[in-house]
Structure formats: structure tokens, C-alpha cells
Amino acid sequence: MSLIQQALTISMVVLGTLITRGLSFFMFPANRKTPEIIIQVGELLPAAILGMLVIYSLRNVNVADLTELLPTILAAAIVVVVHTVKRNMMLSVFSGTFVYIVLVNFVLV
């Protein structure tokens, strides 16, 4: 990429970020009540995203191969336990990912 192409690419990314971030302030100003549908979407979206993540993570698991099944089940169990105890989605996903990576790369080599 030439210097002009790089500058245009960066400018477009910055412009797109500013528009998407600023649009919410324009559409939902602080002096007005947030519409009920937006509040409902904000409440339901985290659970929907976690459900999609579970389906995406488990879709290609070969249940006949124990070296593939065991780390997946253990990591999923860690996610459930950590989320049940701490009620922190980010912590539960990161801990399950960490357990899976450790098992796959260092334990079940």
C-alpha cells in the first residue's frame, strides 16, 4: 500500500468508529428516556452471545476421540462453575479458554 492508501484506510476506520460511537449519543440523548426495546436488547444480548459461543465452540467436537472430548468437556465445566460462582462472563470465558489451551498444549500432547 502506498502512503496515500494507508492514510485513506486509517481515515476511513477512524471515521467509521466515530460515526458508530457518536450515533448512539445522537439517537439516545441523556435528557430522554431510553426506549424499552433497547433496554430489553441490552439485557438479553449477553446471554444470546454466550449461547452462540457455546454452540460455536462445541460444533466440531469429535465425541469418539477422547483427547479432543476431554479438554472440551473440562473447559466447558470450568466455564459453568466459574460463572455460577462469580457471575462474571468475561472471567468464566477466559478461565475456560485458559484451561482448554493448557490441556491441549501441555497435558494431552
- Range of the structural domain that residue 10 is part of: 1-32
Residues 46 and 23 in one domain: no
Number of domains in the chain: 2
Q: What confidence tier does 16 reach under pLDDT thresholds 50, 70, 90? A: very high
Residue 109 — pLDDT band, cuts 50, 70, 90? Answer: low
| Cell reading at 4 | 496515500
Instruction: Give CA–CA dist 104/96, Å, rounded.
Output: 12
- The Cα-based distances of 24 to 29, 38, 48 in angstroms read 8, 11, 21
Same domain, yes or no, for 21 and 45?
no
pTM, two decimal places: 0.57
pLDDT digits (tens, 9 = 90+) for 55-97: 988 899 888 988 888 999 999 999 999 999 999 989 998 999 9
65 with 87, same domain? Answer: yes
Contact of 92 with 86, CB cutoff 8 Å? yes
Residues 8 and 47 in one domain: no
Higher-pLDDT residue of 58, 109? 58
- Asked if 23 and 68 sit in the same domain, the reply is no
Distance in angstroms (rounded) separating the CA atoms of residues 9 and 54: 34
What percent of the chain is modeled with pLDDT above 90? 55
